[in-house]
Each structure stands twice: as structure tokens, then as C-alpha cells.
Structure 1
Amino acid sequence: MGFEDRLYSLLSLYIRSPQWVKSIFGRLYLALPPYVRRGRHYPRFLEQVAVHDPAALAQLSRAKLTETLRWALQTVPRYASYAHLLGQLEADPYAVLQQLPIVSKSDVKADLDDLLSRQMPLTARLKTFTGGSTAQPMMFYLHKGVTRTKEYAFMDSFHRRVGLSDKDVVLALRGRSVPGAGRPGASLWMYEPIKRQLILSCDHLERANMPAYVEAIRRWKPRFIQAYPSALHPLARWLKEHPAPDVTAPIRGIMLYSENVYEGQMAMLRSVFDCPILCHYGHSERVLMAASMPDDERCFFWPQYGHVELLDVMGRPVTQPGELGELVGTCYDNQVMPFVRYRTGDLAVLSDRPHPALPGYFAVERIEGRLQEFLVCHDHRLISICTMGAAHFDDLAAVEMIQYEQFRPGHFLLNVVASQALSDAARGRIARAVYAKTQGGCQVEVREVAQIARTASGKHRMLLQHLDISEYFGATLAS
């Protein structure tokens, strides 16, 4: 097991320590070889990531799927009644997979023990929780010494798409709290030397704090940015209004995580930073991982990481390009709790065009977001909030932050944080634009609020959906 997992429980103590302590510990820690820090399996996963030949890649992913299914059928109680399928694995693991049940977050929460391997010791379990931005936070287990090691190898592959190395300083706006940032006169940023990150507090993104953030960037000179889109957007807007070429010109790549990226946000980032902007897709359960390319905004799933299915409401594979389905994944390399046919709750649109540099990678045109990120029209149609961004409404272009909130079909609240009150005329224009955008499906009530709270992990929930829309979801896909 690598030091990363051994010291995982001490992470919060390290983050809260004074800067001089982090600096000393960070220098000593970075002196260790990568395989010592990240685990003995790290070189093996690096080799797997490096496989690009289509035939070799197909063989590797097939072998990993076979291994996962064999382990689940032999050792996990949930699959005891499917043990008769073991004899079919070598001939066709994909056919065996199709005969296994789909597992949801509700299933995990209802009977976690039933999904844990009986052959793995308790010491191999790394207790983990999903993030606070999901509709159903839950507890589950990763494979200690393996899962996070694998994650590092694949993330390193993603970083190389924009040229990021472990020697570069990164500007991080990904929800990590800065200890003491709320106290008067306290710093709103900190430097974390192990990952070489200048971490800005996502809890203090008001305009009054932007000059302090910009000065911290000038001091530490990051060349790459890793951020939640909603956290980077306020900084980009400030830099648009207060140009600072010495801050923006050196940025060579931006990596966006964990949230949908809306049209207005991407337009703002591109107007401020002249560099590739890539989007990453993953989740706490480490079942699937995908990302865009510098020359292609679509998402491409690493076949060495996990097996991806895109299924319709009846559980059938989506086969037509442009068709919407739910991402269902089978993870590799987690013998503690092998997720098999796990419903991510994320929806995506199928693509049929391979990327020339990624043969064998499953591609989707876009990931629409989670089920709770859809508005329900009065006629029960679902509309993704990806298509409802502020860029569609000129009167919202200058507001600080927005959030949709829905209690009944065909009507929603638009919570707005604005430095200046919206006029009645502006509210009327927004209402008409929403009505047109939803093809007469929704009416809106604009409500100005003092602030919009982020989740515990620093994410911005664009939609607070109070409806149980699973019933509408099935009807929408069936139609």
C-alpha cells in the first residue's frame, strides 16, 4: 500500500497545519519515488493507460471485465444466484454481463453488505462517501491501496492531454476549504506543496475578494487551472472586466471537473484564457472515467478503467447516434466492492464518431447531467438545464449567480444574486425567453436572493429539484 492511502486519514490535519509545516512535509514527501507515495500498483496502471493499439486495448478491457465478473460471481452475496454463469465467462463476458441485474444507489444504501466481497479482509476496505451535491449521498467502500492508486495513473493520463506535469504549479478551485478563511484578515488562499496547488477558497468568491485572489496568482504563477466551472466563472468574469495579461497569458490549460459546463460559462472562459479547456467526467465510486480532448469537446471513456453501457429506460443499449440514455458502469480493480452494472444517474447522448487518437474509446456527444438536473414542463417533458444557461437570457449576463428551483411541473423559480435589482421590464423579458426556450412548457418567477449556498464539497447546484422526476423520466425516454 502506498503512503497516500496510509496517510489518507491525516489529510484534514495536514491541510489545517500552518504553511511552513505543509512546506517542510511536502518537500520531504515529494522526495519519495512515485511508486512509494502512490502504491506498488502504480506502475502497472501506468502501463495499462499507455495501451493504445485497438486490438491490445480490446483484449485488455475484455480481460479486466472477465476478471471483475468472475470475482463478483464467486465472492459477492448479491450474485450468488448467478454463479451458474461462471462457465460462460471465457466464451463471452459481455453476454454474461447482460444477464446480471442493474444496481442503483438505492440498492447500495438498502443493503451495502450484500454487495461486499466475502473474500476481502476488513483492512482492505477504504470507507468513502459520495459528494454532497448528489441527490442520494451514500457510503460505500473502495479497495485500499488499489483504487486511489489507479485513479492517480488515469488522472496523470488526463493531465498529459494539456501538458501538465508534476513540476507545474496549478491554480485549484475545486471546493477544498481554506482553513480560517472566514476570519477577519485571514488569507483566502493556501499553497499545498505535495500537489503544487494554489488553492483559492470557493466559499469567498465575492467581487471584493477578487483582487486578493489575483495577487496570490501573481505570487505563485500557476500555469494550469483545475476547477469547478461555477467556481472559476466569477474569477474569469472579474479578469474580463479588469484585464491582467500577466495572470491570464501564462495559463496553458484548464481542466474542469464535477459539474456540467454551461454555454455562458464556457464562452466567458474562452474570452479570458487563450488555452485548451478540457472537461473531465468521473465520480466518487470510481466506476467510469471520461474526458474531452484539446481538439474535441466530446467525452471519451477510458476502456481500461471500467466498462460503460448507455441504456434506455427499458435497460436496452442505446444504438442510435444522438439518442439519450443513462450511463451504467462496471468498475475494474475494486475487489472489496465490485460495482457491476451500476446506475450512475448521469445521462448522455451517444456519438458514433471515434477520435483518431483514441481508437476503441466509447464516445458521447455530451453528458447531460444527473436526473435531478432536468426541469419538468407542464406536459411532463424534461428539459436539461444545460440548455437553459444564463447565456440564453441577456438580462442575466451580468448577475453574480443563478439557481433554478422547481416545486411543480410547468413552473420554476429563478433565484438570482445581482449587484443591481432587475427591472420589471427585465423580468418580463426573462419570462418570455424561458417560455420560448421551453416551447411553451414552463413559466418562471424571478426571485432575487442575497446568496446561493454551495454544497459541503464546494459545488454549485444549478437546480434544486423538489419533484420526484423518475416518473417523468421514463415517459420521456419511451416517447
Structure 2
Amino acid sequence: MSLMDVARGAYVRSPEVVRRSLAPLVSLVPTGLKFGGNYRRWRERIARAAADPAYAATEHLAALRAIVGRAHALSPFYRELIERALGSGFDATTFELADLQRLPILRKEELRQAGEAALTVPRAEADRGDTSGSNGERPFTFYLDKDRSAREMAFVYDNWSRIGFTEKTGKVVLRGFGLHPKGTSISQWEPALRELRLSVFPMTHDDVRTYVELIDRYELEYLYGYPSAIELMCRHMCRIGRVPRRPLKGILPISEPLYAHQRRIIAAVFGDVPIANFYGLSEKVLFAREINSDGFYQFDPLYGRAELVDDDGRPITETGREGRLVGTGFTGRSMPFLRYDTEDRATLVELPNAVNGQRLTVERLTPRRKPDFLVSADGNRVVTIDFTPENPRYFEGIEEYQFYQDRPGYSTIRYIPTADGGEADALRVASGLTQRTHGKIVFAIEQVDRLAGGRAGKRAFIDQRLDISKY
């Protein structure tokens, strides 16, 4: 494990006050050293795999055997699962791609129940991660490698390099709900990473005027963030008639699907700017690049094994059929994910095979976590993908929840309490979120027996009854 790999990740994830004190020193570190040798080696491997399908296929199988072997050797949960499916004489060195389908598909609930038995290292040697529990589900806790930063950035920067972005390039960042809990700061310059961080709430006309001035001041040419936040910024730019002086060279979307109407408004504001879109998961299981403007995504064979299955778990082999996306991650060693149900869906374009370097290609990739909006009292949209803290303790006492809105500036948290939870827990959350929106949305609570569901029984994160097109 490289010390630089761990240090870089620790810096990125450290509190603002720590980053502020270290930023001047970190900014002086040469770019090559800042990213490290592990990052360069992964970039070389990714480039070679892109040029040589035979190499990609060989490395794909070797990585699969390595992660399955590690899971069997070091995780009590996976050892029992693998031996139940493949026998007590299991030998990872003879494991083949077809053998993977003999293992069961794992959902969050099964991994939640497994707990630390799913880990291959002591808990203290890994970083904790949490999904935010969107769509009314409970948050899911998982564990990641402390030195993952270099590997992750190698795949991301390789994708961004397609439109000219490099390790030395600065960018505008539109992610995160707010940069200051009391709303006293809506922007932040991060010199060590060359990032201009802009709050996505509040995002008024005046805010966007300020943002354009800051973009001009730092002469930034790449825009990175949630598509819903980028769309909102573009709408404001249209209304105030302001755009940055320097033409943008690229858009770097994250975390949400990029819809056709969002591409249109980006083009209307910034022109025919290239977009380097990709698909990833907080759990670091799969990574896919958007390979054309038709929305085709191709999964990286060095990152993981992607499968499409039907609702009964059977492999989808017919082009044009939709299925569930199942992933086996290769890059995360602390907590392996073998045949993990991502809960996302996609339509088959091409199956992985030796000729294409074991790259699954899909279209109409639909993440489980869709962008949603609430509307504030002043009629502004509030981007909610990063609305609630990812720390599951924030929702202690609440089993499931959903936001309901039928008038601007007000929202009701409909919730189901845990066995030992109750009204006080819901009121604590409501009060915290009202503060988080700087009072622009007032939250009330309502205890319910069940939450409103939609097609196929899925619950929306927000039961939005306003006509969002009016805001």
C-alpha cells in the first residue's frame, strides 16, 4: 500500500478546516508525485487494455480469479457461500468466467446481514462508506480500501482525457448541497486540486452571476458535477444572459444519468462542447464509459465483471432486451462484491467476449438513484441527490422515509419509525433539514404505515406533486 495513495485520498476526504491549512503545501507538490506511481501504472494498464483486447481478456480473468480467491481465503461469509455453490475443494486458480454464474446474486440486505464477515481485512484497516438510502431505503454500509484513490482516479482521468482533461487541469465543481451550513459561503477555491467549488443551493440568478465572475477569474474551462445542477446553472445563465468569457472545453458529469433535454440546454448555453460521461458506483464495483452520443456504455474489463440478468436471475443474451445490472468488482480488496445486484437496469447491446476484451456494452443505462428536486419558497429548484447526509446515524430511529411536496417552500417527511424510534427522531431530522436549506424549505413530519409506491412497487425519493417544469 503506497503512503502517497493513502495520503491523497485522506486529503480529499478530510474536513474543510484541515484542507484549508494543508492546501498551500499540497499545491506545491509536483503533479507527478501528487498522483503517484500506482496511478501511472494503472493508466498504462488501462491504455494497453484499450489497444489490445487479448491483453484485456487475460487480465480480466486473472483479476476475477484473484478477487474470488481472496474472498474465499479471507472472508468467512464468502468462504461459506463459495463452497456451498462450488464445493469444499474450491480452487481459484482454475475458476472460469462461466463459473461465476454458479454463485448467487447478492443484494444489499444479505451483505448488511453478513456484516464484518464479508470483509477480508480487519475493519480498522478499511474506510467506511454509506449509501444515502434514497428511494426510502435504509442506508447501506460498506467498506473500501484506504489506498483506492490512485486506482479510482486512473479510470476517471483516462475517461476525461478523451476530451483533453489532464492531471494539471482546473475545473468548476457543482456537487455537494452547500459549502457552509449557515449559507455564509457559496463558493470555495481549492488550490491544491485546482477546483472552484460552487454551492448548488441556493442557486439564484445573483449566485450564478457571481459564479460566472469566479469562473472568469480562475480561467477555468471544464465543468464537473451533477447533471441536474449543471442544468439548473444553465437555465439561470439563459435567464440572465451571462456565460463565461472563455469557451468551455468539456463537461464532466457524475452520479446521475445525463438526459437528452440536459444535453440540449448545455449545447444551447455552451455550444457543441464535448461531454465525457461515465457510470460508476459508490461501492466501486463497476466502471463504464459512454462511448457515443446515443448513450451506449462500455464496461471496463480491468475494473470488474458486468452481467445483465432478468428478474429471475437468468443471463440476458438477446440484443435489445433490458435487464438488471450485476457486478463483480476487481479493484476493491477490503470488502469484495461478487455478483452484486446494483439495482440499476440497462439494455443489452453486445455481450462480453474474447474479441472485445470482455467488455459488456449496454444502452439505456438507468441508475437506481434518479435526480429529484424540491422547490423552495422563492420558486427555485433544490438539487436533492446530495440532499441528505450519507451518515446513516443521521436517520437513527427512522426505518424508511420519503419527501412529499405539493406547495413551494414546504415539504413533509413521511416516515416509518424503527422499533425503538419515534416522533422525536423525525422532528430532529426535519429541523436539521430546514436549517440545511437556510429556511427556504420548511419540513414537517407525518408517520405512516407504508410509503407511496410507483410502478413495479418502487418508491420515489420524493413524491413530487408540483409541476417541476414551472420552476
**Normalised-by-shorter TM-score class:** 0.7 to 0.9
DSSP-derived class of the 2:206 partner: helix
Give the corresponding residue for 2:361: 363
Give the corresponding residue for 2:167: 166
| 1:64-463 equivalent positions in 2, closer than 5 A | 64-81=63-80, 82-83=82-83, 84=87, 87=90, 89-117=92-120, 120-131=121-132, 133=134, 135-145=137-147, 147-175=148-176, 177-179=178-180, 182-183=183-184, 187-244=185-242, 246-247=244-245, 250-274=247-271, 275-293=273-291, 297-352=295-350, 360-370=358-368, 400-401=380-381
Q: What is the Cα deviation at residue 215 of structure 1?
A: 1.1
Q: What is the Cα deviation at residue 177 of structure 1?
A: 3.8
Write the letter of the residue equivalent to 1:174. Answer: R
Spell out, residue by residue over 1:78-129, the C-alpha distance to the aligned partner (whole angstroms, 9 max, x if none).
2323333765644452232111121111112222122112xx3445312222
DSSP-derived class of the 1:351 partner: strand
Shift in CA distance, 32/262, structure 1 to aligned 2, threshold 3 Å: closer
DSSP-derived class of the 1:258 partner: coil
DSSP-derived class of the 2:323 partner: strand
Write the letter of the residue equivalent to 1:102. Answer: I
Write the letter of the residue equivalent to 1:76. Answer: S
Aligned residues: 389
Write the letter of the residue equivalent to 1:164. Answer: F
Spell out, residue by residue over 1:21-67, the C-alpha distance to the aligned partner (whole angstroms, 9 max, x if none).
46513323x33643xx4455333322321122111111111110111
DSSP-derived class of the 1:161 partner: helix
Q: CA RMSD in A?
A: 3.5
Q: Does the CA-based 8 Å contact 1:300-1:361 persist in structure 2?
A: yes
Write the letter of the residue equivalent to 1:137. Answer: P
DSSP-derived class of the 2:41 partner: helix
DSSP-derived class of the 2:335 partner: coil
Shift in CA distance, 262/296, structure 1 to aligned 2, threshold 3 Å: closer
CA distance in 1, matches of 2:320, 2:146: 39
Identity of aligned residues (%): 28
Q: Does the CA-based 8 Å contact 1:200-1:213 persist in structure 2?
A: yes
Q: Mean alpha-carbon deviation: is it higher for 62-71 or for 39-48?
A: 39-48
Q: Which runs of 5+ in 2 are unaligned?
A: 374-378, 385-402, 410-432, 438-449, 459-471
CA distance in 2, matches of 1:325, 1:105: 18
Give the corresponding residue for 1:49: 46
Q: What is the Cα deviation at residue 131 of structure 1?
A: 3.7
Write the letter of the residue equivalent to 1:112. Answer: G
Give the corresponding residue for 1:62: 61
- Out of 446, 451, 464, which is 1:466 matched to? 451
Shift in CA distance, 253/208, structure 1 to aligned 2, threshold 3 Å: same
Write the letter of the residue equivalent to 1:65. Answer: L
Give the corresponding residue for 1:25: 25
CA distance in 1, matches of 2:435, 2:36: 34
Q: What is the Cα deviation at residue 202 of structure 1?
A: 1.4
Q: What is the Cα deviation at residue 319 of structure 1?
A: 1.6
Shift in CA distance, 333/101, structure 1 to aligned 2, threshold 3 Å: same
DSSP-derived class of the 1:222 partner: coil
Q: What is the Cα deviation at residue 10 of structure 1?
A: 5.7
Q: Does the CA-based 8 Å contact 2:9-2:146 persist in structure 1?
A: no
Q: What is the Cα deviation at residue 292 of structure 1?
A: 0.9
Write the letter of the residue equivalent to 2:323. Answer: G
Q: Mean alpha-carbon deviation: is it higher for 272-281 or for 55-64?
A: 272-281
Q: Mean alpha-carbon deviation: is it higher for 189-198 or for 288-297?
A: 288-297
Write the letter of the residue equivalent to 1:292. Answer: E
Shift in CA distance, 77/327, structure 1 to aligned 2, threshold 3 Å: same
Q: What is the Cα deviation at residue 170 of structure 1?
A: 0.4
CA distance in 2, matches of 1:109, 1:79: 13
Give the corresponding residue for 2:461: none
